[in-house]
Chains A and B, each alone.
Chain A
Amino acid sequence: NAGVMQNPRHLVRRRGQEARLRCSPMKGHSHVYWYRQLPEEGLKFMVYLQKENIIDESGMPKERFSAEFPKEGPSILRIQQVVRGDSAAYFCASSPGKRSTEAFFGQGTRLTVV
């Protein structure tokens, strides 16, 4: 899974700041999934994007969270006005097609809100 690159690996933000998490999919992959893992829990689906399109955002909180996957460049998960409850590990997975069952995960970004 080293092919999916997430950065930064660790991110510390103060309450009220913005957090930007980046995900570069594996070469040739045009589908990206974002998951969040809270402590002692499993991964929870947030959003599924294809190049320039949001396909499924049913897991995204209604406020403060947004995601994009532009034609050029990495996918970005943006969290505005972070709160302590946003502290978690955020994982990105990419796949060559629609089948998320063939997705490869990145190493994650650990966000800590202080």
Chain B
Amino acid sequence: DQQVKQNSPSLSVQEGRISILNCDYTNSMFDYFLWYKKYPAEGPTFLISISSIKDKNEDGRFTVFLNKSAKHLSLHIVPSQPGDSAVYFCAASQNAGKSTFGDGTTLTVKP
């Protein structure tokens, strides 16, 4: 029973274009959502988060959108840069407890 799903294992975009990474969840009790970025042989690094009381949070080139009715969130990266190439994990938590992670999407930004 995978409660957080990232259905696209990989995504390739051209430098300067928009990258959109998607995430779906099934547990309606989740109230906080996070995106992590991970390079090979390193631990995940927190990128951006959103509380369930909001539908959008923006931080520089990164914006996360939350659609609670659809149980869907997305991460937009604009403009995409080659240094953004990494694995992106979506995660969700309930009452600030343990995080449940998706399987990740490998983003490749081509110069």
Given the complex of chains A and B, what is the CA–CA distance between A7 and B105 in angstroms?
Answer: 27
> Is A53 interfacial (CB 8 A cutoff)?
no
CB contacts (< 8 Å) of B45 on chain A: these are 1, 105
**Which B residues lie within 8 Å of A35 (CB)?**
101
Q: How large is the interface on B (under 10, 10 to 19, 20 to 34, 35 or more residues)?
A: 20 to 34
Is A69 an interface position by the 8 A CB rule? no
User: Is residue A54 contacting chain B, with contact meaning CB distance below 8 A?
Assistant: no
Interface positions of A from 24 to 60, Cβ below 8 Å from B: 33, 35, 40-45, 48, 56, 59
Residue of B nearest to A35 (CB): B101
- Interface: A62 (CB within 8 A): no
Give the Cβ gap from B99 to chain A, nearest Cβ, in Å: 6
Please list the 7 inter-chain residue pairs (A to B) with the smallest Cβ-Cβ separation, ordered nearest first: A105-B43, A42-B101, A99-B96, A42-B103, A43-B101, A45-B98, A107-B43
